[in-house]
Chain A
Amino acid sequence: MTMAATVKYDEVEAGQEIPAVEYPVHRVDLVRYAGASGDFNPIHWNERYAKAVGLPDVIAHGMYTMAQGGRFVTEWAGDPSAVVDFGVRFSSMVVVPDDDAGATIRISGVVEEKLEDKRVVVVLTAKSGDARVLSKARAVVQLS
């Protein structure tokens, strides 16, 4: 297995916090993600449709939010191949208005546990405004 993570297992402690990063989200990001992922559900780009099915506005793909969590972990570890397990529950919607501000997803993390084989459990907190948009967000990361 490749060991390219820039974070060393021996230098990480349980309870260690990973500083928050803010990820802006605009409508164009959702359109780009729709194209890249193949998920063209109109609730992610069509305000008229989203409101007709009872949503407050266009919402981000849950997978877009999860991908920002993945990016947070891989940027911390320095290696996109270091994530060996990653799971989330989508607990609230990221509403993305059609304006210059868009929405913001704020993600922070904690090293919850050190496992064997130089692996650690990272638990994420992801919020948009006051709403927690991911819960039970947990990644197992292979460090070096």
Chain B
Amino acid sequence: MALNRDFVGRTYESSAPYEVSRVKIREFAAAIGERNPVCHDRDAAVAAGHPDLVAPPTFPIVFSLSSTGGALADPGLGLDFSMVVHGEQRFEYDRPIYAGDELVCTSTITEIRSVGRNEFLTLRSDVSTTSGESVCRTYNTIVERGGAA
């Protein structure tokens, strides 16, 4: 089913700040095989000049999608999750994410388009601290296979 183009431009705020913990950074780093000590050992991170553990570059996927889960699950959008695969992803940083950060996400559906038989939907998430410091932007394009058929 074609996605509802009325959703383009809609913006969603995360319901509560995401608290970046050392435990989650270590768990995520271990899951992707990132062994650099600045992701695992606070003393090593501080010795390298960081305030605390450093999150790997793709870490924001942990919280950026959950903040928009409600939007994509809205029956009015017409998205069939069983047919969804990931199309494109980008992370653009102002500074690294550190353990102890409290992050809020503002996500906007920036584009919905058809390519062949598939539907493409792009979300931009602006990630900042609860005190308003901009940290990064994420761009996520999902593909609904057969959605435009």
Decide if B31 is an interface residue (CB 8 Å cutoff).
yes
How many contacts between A and B, using CB within 8 angstroms? 122
Is B30 a contact of A36 with CB atoms below 8 Å?
A: yes
- A70's closest neighbor in chain B, by CB? B57
**Residues of A67-109 contacting chain B, CB below 8 A:** 67-68, 70-71, 73-75, 78-81, 83-90, 93
* Interface membership of A33, Cβ < 8 A: yes
Q: How far is the CA of A73 from the CA of B54 in the complex (A)?
A: 15
B51-66 interface (Cβ within 8 A of A): 54-58, 61-62, 65-66
Q: Size band of the A side of the interface?
A: 35 or more
- Grouping DSSP codes into helix (H, G, I), strand (E, B) and loop, the A interface class, with mixed when no group exceeds half, is mixed
Other A-B contacts than A70-B32, A71-B32, 18 sampled, CB-CB below 8 A, are A35-B27, A36-B27, A36-B30, A38-B65, A59-B85, A62-B86, A66-B58, A67-B56, A68-B32, A70-B56, A73-B57, A79-B36, A80-B29, A80-B39, A80-B56, A87-B90, A88-B90, A90-B88
| Interface of B toward A, CB cutoff 8 Å | 24, 27-34, 36, 38-39, 48-50, 54-58, 61-62, 65-66, 81-93, 95-96, 139, 145
